[in-house]
Structure 1
């Protein structure tokens, strides 16, 4: 594995073959994808920590979805990636959709976990409140945010039966820089919807039956809007919350092993 620092972003780059670019969600890092890496054997896998997340420095000024898209394009340009499969989780799925709509030649396929076109209006205010808490209360605030999200965003089955994924989600959240997390919250709270009808690439949508961020009915409605996509497959995993690749890694590996080779 090679670690690149590109425009103050930490980017992991490993393997050979067709490129796969993996974009984590709010409170995530490149490690969001570690549980499904076995599905990506035989590919060149590029996993950035998006600006303000994980090991990457916070972007100056206001962070927006548009800036995240620009950051990903800069990574692709620097690493000579002209065409790639894109994996996204949560907020990362929004970035993927904007990329696919605006840069169809770049995006070979989309595999989106816990996908949403944009947060509903009721959620935007809550996300902004979370940003204020992280910014004003620092590490203590992030601790409280992590505890609340572990209870709300992963399934009851995961919390009760799977201590390692539960600890993974908590650790991913508590280790975020409070200011970087606050800016990421603000980017998500202001996220515009992509022109999803313009997406041409094949799309895999995966969510959990207990995902409160990307509930099954919303994901199915999203699938209906992907009218220009070459193909659309929707998968709802039982006893699973929002952290799909972490909570149900084996199911996600199985679906990716079926989906990605078909797009070569």
Structure 2
């Protein structure tokens, strides 16, 4: 893992920078880390793959509150700047997708194209906002381990909770490393994020929207909220919310195909 110090915030960002070729920024989901992408990165041939532990996650530092989704996006743009990357393809899983949309809106000079993987441009509805508050209380009252134990099985397709026990356990181990204050900060950020469907509608670059047919967290219709000539919609039927673990080869192929199309 490599390290940069953010100039705007006094925290360190840990990241992997692997391969050569077209730059791709891969961002993991909530209570994940760069290790979510371990099986995908080696398959992205011909790409320079930049994979951070997002602020408040993994081995990266925890920023001071308040820290909005927009702040995540600003810090990812700074990561690219410090790495002398002009434009990259931004690919975001779940939370990473929210950051991707904010990045496309705020830093178009850093975004060659972008993709949402098991994510959505819609904001939380009232029930979703209430659930974020309940999650915050769980973390504050009980700590990160019980919270992760309740969260992770829901991320996999129901059948895979049993047939992929090893990967479910791996995702839990990754989640346990999340600093509790980082989880709380991120839950607050996700709760307050705005509707960004217009970012997809108005995008002047290619967009990938990828969903899992058995996703229990974000149903495909929430991902496929916008259609258009420059928008590619992909459904991985036999995946839940974690195709990077459930169907890594298929996900990698879809990402490669998208990047190759962007390159023209």
Asked if these proteins are the same fold (TM beyond 0.5), I'd say: yes
Q: Tell me which of 46, 53, 57 is aligned to 2:50.
A: 46
Task: Quote how far apart the aligned CAs of 1:132 are.
Answer: 2.2
1:158–1:165 CA contact under 8 A, matched in 2: no
Per the alignment, residue 36 of structure 2 pairs with 32
| 3-state SS, counterpart of residue 115 of structure 1 | coil
CA distance in 2, matches of 1:149, 1:211: 13
Q: Deviations over 1:191-241 (max 9, x none)?
A: 122332222221121111221322012222x233xx5xx611212222321
Structure 1 residue aligned with 2:135? 130
Does residue 204 (structure 1) correspond to residue 208 (structure 2)? The answer is yes
The equivalent residue for 1:100 is: 104
Per-residue displacement from partner, 1:2-51 (whole Å, max 9, x unpaired)? 61223211122122222111111111111121121133222211111111
- Write the mapping of 1:147-162 to structure 2, written as runs, cut at 5 A: 147-162=149-164
Residues 43, 249 of structure 2: 8 Å contact kept:
no
Which residue does 1:223 correspond to in 2? 226
CA RMSD of aligned residues (A): 1.7
SS of the residue corresponding to residue 51 of structure 2 reads strand
- 3-state DSSP class of the match of 1:223? coil
The question of 1:168 aligning with 2:170 is answered yes
1:250 and 2:254 are equivalent in the alignment: no
Partner of 1:4: 3
Give the match's secondary structure for 1:233. strand
Partner of residue 261, structure 1: 260
- SS state of the match for residue 261, structure 1? helix
SS in 2 for 1:85: strand
Give per-residue Cα distances to partners, 1:90-137, cap 9 Å, x unaligned.
Answer: 011011112112333321122221011133331121112212221332
CA separation in 1, counterparts of 2:85 and 2:125? 33
User: Normalising by the residue count of structure 2, what TM-score does the alignment of the two structures yield?
Assistant: 0.90
Unmatched segments (≥5 aa) in structure 1: none
- 1:73: how far off? 1.4
Give the alignment partner of residue 62 of structure 1, picking from 63, 66, 69.
66
